[in-house]
Structure 1
Amino acid sequence: IQAVEMHKGRALQHTFGEVEALALNEAWVHLIVNDVNDNPPVFLPASSPLVAAVSVDAMIGDTVARVEAVDADEGINKVLRYAIIPTTISTRSISYFALDTSSGELKVAGELKDIAGHMVSFDIRATDRAGDKQGNNSTTSAFIHVLVQSSQLILELNAPPTEIHLHIESLQ
């Protein structure tokens, strides 16, 4: 028997010689290898932690930010669902924001005037197997600054100015 090398992401077929009639003491063996859900989701660096700012005048439904995680598994085992994790500290503050469970988009869900000038923090969980209770999960923290009209947010970016200029539209 020869070893068969596995290649992630593509099917591998291996034939051990010509197809011929089998003797009475021989049999063909077909192996089907299914993915095991052995990898948890991993939040991308831009989402871990998630730090964002939103104007106090933002409208309900406006997108604040987007979290993104990846999973190295295949099929349903890599389908992620996102959720805000309520805690006793964040229960009131998370009512101002809603998270799209499929896309990871964080949106304004309520009037922000009550929390103007404050930072809201909560945790976000990504669960594989489309959010199934048996799925693996990972958590990241979110810190959302609610800016009043006269506020300015200063960002320190660790990149050359030419690189920042290329992506300035996505920063605005």
Structure 2
Amino acid sequence: EEVWIIVVVEDQNDNSPRFLPHGRPIVAAVPAAAAYGHFVTRITAHDPDLGVNGEVRYEILPGEGAKDATTKFTVDPSSGQVVVVGSLENEAGKMFGFDVRATDQHGAPTGRTAIANVFVYVIGAGGHLVVEVGATPRDVEPHLHHIQGMLTNVSGLDVRVQRIAPHVDGDAAHTTATDVYVYAVDPVTQAIVEAAQLRQALRGRKGQLRSLLPSGLQFKGMRLPQPMKQGHILQTAELAILVGAVVVFLSTVTAIACLCYKQRKRRRKPMPLAP
């Protein structure tokens, strides 16, 4: 007589999450003009355990530097996506450092953990290098990963794409060309590289860049972003003053009109007859 015995082997939580890249801090950059909800980076930790033992949750740890960081950034517990939640308008040139903890077992207190150091640099208006590509933004977007890898291989730096936009020449935008805003991280020091240094690393290799671009894309050149013209700032300030003056003027005229109307109404009120 045969007896069948079924043995179910349950997974044991014997692995801790591991951040990618392993053993290195996570470095990202964000423009000072970034609005609420702006994507900064995605933190990823892998856990080979099965089921709930492999489900990872993320959180920013309290500690030195975390208080300032949590007023500017937050991390999604499930996806690890870091986004902007505070104004960075006056933070250009500043670096925010904080620790993120990944916990398996869906973030349970009994779960295994790992900690990663995160550094977010706030880049001002001139902190990016602009690479001009001869194609529309829609045609360029599917190849951003390739462009990022190409610039990394040619420069020897860890180049990352911040954003893309229609190419701007003076005050005119051209939809047939695309400006790719990039920045670079030094692979040794893990610090943000100045845009001028990145341009220097790519200078003299334009032919190589042209040959490495996918078919249909043309390398047009690269430049440092031009600072905003002072005249534009003055025009904006003057417009704000003018609008404020108009509002005050209209408010004053309305108040005077209401006062005159009340006085006229009182004058028209008939006097009572004497008995």
TM-score bracket for this pair, using the shorter chain length: 0.7 to 0.9
Partner of 1:147: 123
Residue 8 (structure 2) aligns with: 32
The structure-2 alpha-carbon separation of the partners of 1:110 and 1:134, relative to structure 1 and needing over 3 Å to count, comes to: same
Q: Match of 2:105? A: 129
Task: Could you tell me which runs of 5 or more consecutive residues in structure 1 were left unpaired when the two chains were aligned.
Answer: 1-20, 154-160
Q: In 1, are the aligned partners of 2:65 and 2:96 still within 8 Å (CA)?
A: no
SS at structure 1 position matched to 2:66: coil
Deviations 1:10-55 (A, max 9, x none): xxxxxxxxxxx34xxxx54321100000000000117941101100
Matched, 1:65 2:41: yes
CA-to-aligned-CA distance 1:85-131 (integer Å, 9 cap, x gap): 12133212221001011111100010012422100000011110111
Query: What does residue 9 of structure 1 align with?
Result: none
Aligned to 2:69: 93
With over 3 angstroms needed to count, the CA separation of the structure-2 counterparts of 1:54 and 1:150, relative to structure 1, is same
Give the Cα–Cα distance (whole angstroms) in 2 for the partners of residues 162 and 56 of structure 1: 24
The structure 1 residue matched to 2:88, chosen from 112, 127, 134, is 112
The farther-off stretch of 39-48 and 142-151 is: 39-48
- What is the aligned partner in structure 2 of residue 156 from structure 1? none
Cα deviation for residue 162 of structure 1 reads 8.4
Aligned to 1:16: none
Larger radius of gyration, structure 1 or 2? 2
* Structure-1 separation of matches of 2:74 and 2:28: 14
The whole-number CA distance in structure 1 between the counterparts of 2:147 and 2:94 is 33
> Number of matched residues?
141
Contact 1:86 1:94 in 2 (8 A): no
Q: Which has the higher helix share?
A: 2
- What TM-score, normalized to structure 2? 0.47
Q: Equivalents in 1 of 2:98, 2:26: separation in Å?
A: 10
Q: Counterpart of 1:11?
A: none
Match of 2:28 in 1: 52
Q: Matches of 1:56 and 1:163 in 2, distance apart?
A: 22
Of the candidates 2, 15, 18, which is equivalent to residue 42 of structure 1?
18
Structure 2 contact 36–84 (Cα < 8 Å) conserved: yes
Looking at structure 2, the residues matched to 122 and 162 of structure 1 have their Cα atoms a distance apart, in angstroms, of: 30
Separation in structure 1 between the aligned mates of residue 69 and residue 148 of structure 2, nearest angstrom:
35
**What's the % identity of the aligned pairs?**
37
2:56–2:102: 8 Å Cα contact kept in structure 1?
A: yes
For 2:161, the equivalent position in structure 1 comes to: 171
Counterpart Cα distance in 1 of 2:147 and 2:11: 43
Q: What is the alpha-carbon distance in structure 1 between the residues aligned to residue 38 and residue 72 of structure 2?
A: 12
